[in-house]
Amino acid sequence: MCTTAVILAGAALATSAAGTAVSIGSSNYQRGMAGLQLAEQRDQMRQQRKDIQLQAQEAEALRLQDYRRSREANLLALAGGGTGQNMSWLQGIDQANEAALKMDLANIRLGLAGGENRLAQQIRVNKTQDLIADKARDAQVFGSLIDFAGSAVKTAGYYDTYKLPSSGASGINGQVLPAKIDTGIRLT
């Protein structure tokens, strides 16, 4: 094989190897950045979840405080109004207030559960996106390696096509070309 062909084949293979390495490095970098972004989103969603829980606890505490104030005001009104006449009225109000309190607390807890469920779904979607990005990176790396293998096979094919026979004469596909070509025409 002539030296130029060997150099070109080696350069083509080296270029292909460098391209494969850059492609794999780029895939790994993109995967790493995507992983960081998804991890940050998961952290933000977890923080939102904690915020929702705190808001629900605060709403519950405020509602309980409102109920206790109302009950205290009713008891003071009963005490200020004299004896037993208003007791049946207070019992009716107290039962209605207690039922409203239970309903309000149930609604607050239901809202909390709904918010937590939405965030849990978002976290699951986030994790799925992370897995998809990971598989896409693996596919890119595999494709790059296949491209490199194809370049290596192609280079080997060029080598076989242009290699020199062992006698040192130039040739194509191992066939020796004659030093002189006999055309059959004689000049005398």
pLDDT at 115 over 80: yes
Q: What is the mean pLDDT of residues 164-181?
A: 51
pLDDT tens digit sequence for 130-151: 888 888 888 888 888 888 888 7
What residues are paired with 171 via a beta bridge?
Answer: 176
CA distance linking residue 125 with residue 43, whole number of Å: 14
Tell me, rounded to whole angstroms, the distance of Cα 96 from its chain centroid.
51
Higher pLDDT, 83 or 115: 115
Phi and psi angles of residue 163, each rounded to the nearest 5 degrees, phi first: -70, 150
pLDDT for 76-106, tens place per residue? 777 776 655 556 666 677 788 888 888 988 8
